[in-house]
Amino acid sequence: MSAPLLEVQVHRKRLGGREVLRDLALSLREGEIAALVGASGCGKSTLLRLVAALDQDFEGTVRLDGRAVAAPSTAIRIVFQEPRLFPWLSVAQNIGFDGRGSAQDRARIETLLAEVGLPGLGERLPRDLSGGQAQRVALARALFVQPRLLLLDEPFSAVDAFTRVKLQALLLRLVRAHRIGVLLVTHDIDEAVALGERVLVLRSDPGHVAAQVEVPVEHPRDRDDQACAAAAAAVRRALHEVHAF
């Protein structure tokens, strides 16, 4: 078996006087999606910030491709619940913000616009986009720098149910096309099971991985599949055991 893309060991992480994470370990393979679920406040978003090196005040290590992650880099990109686009820049300028405006950059922007289902919309401003379109732009912007790892912090929770299903399908296509690893934080059990090869259940106070549920079903998945239903039931049981609800 090949070496993991991502290896995380968090011995301890404090915020103020509270111990948010302790003795948390996880790994991720190239091209794999792992979903993180747990009660609000269990440290899911904090964990993403540690992996992205946006917060380095913790005891432990984060390794990508075997190398320690010591600072934010283009190899790891994070997408939040809100698209966080620059309102004064066009869609194309938002996507290529980290580029130099070269012909190669412009060609890559056009390719990404097509990949996320927004061909021809590069000149629009964010105010002219729907919520789903804006989140597609956020995904394209994250992919522009060709990252190895994508961190998603409830990226589809602010859109309607139909748009969410479409964005989930888009994410699967992007993962296959770009062979990136994905850590997905979600409160939606069905979403976790529909997308993740594994669902990691976090326990609170302090946060750590209390259970791991494998989803042994090839993508694209039928959400009514018996194996998917069994995995969702296992996730619910694990969440009950950690008193998430």
pLDDT in tens, 204-237: 999 999 999 999 999 888 888 899 999 999 999 9
Q: How many residues would you count in the chain?
A: 245
pTM for this predicted structure: 0.95
Is residue 1 over pLDDT 70?
A: no
Residue 178, number of CB atoms within 10 A of its CB: 14
Q: Return the CATH fold of 6-75+147-241.
A: Rossmann fold (3.40.50)
CA distance 240 to 245: 6
Look at residues 152, 187, 188 and name the one whose alpha carbon lies nearest to residue 76: 152
Residues in Cβ contact with 56 at an 8 Å cutoff, skipping those fewer than 6 apart: 50, 70, 71
Token pair recorded at residue 221: 């998945």
Spell out the alpha helix ranges (H) of 116-160.
131-144
Q: What percent of the chain has pLDDT over 90?
A: 89
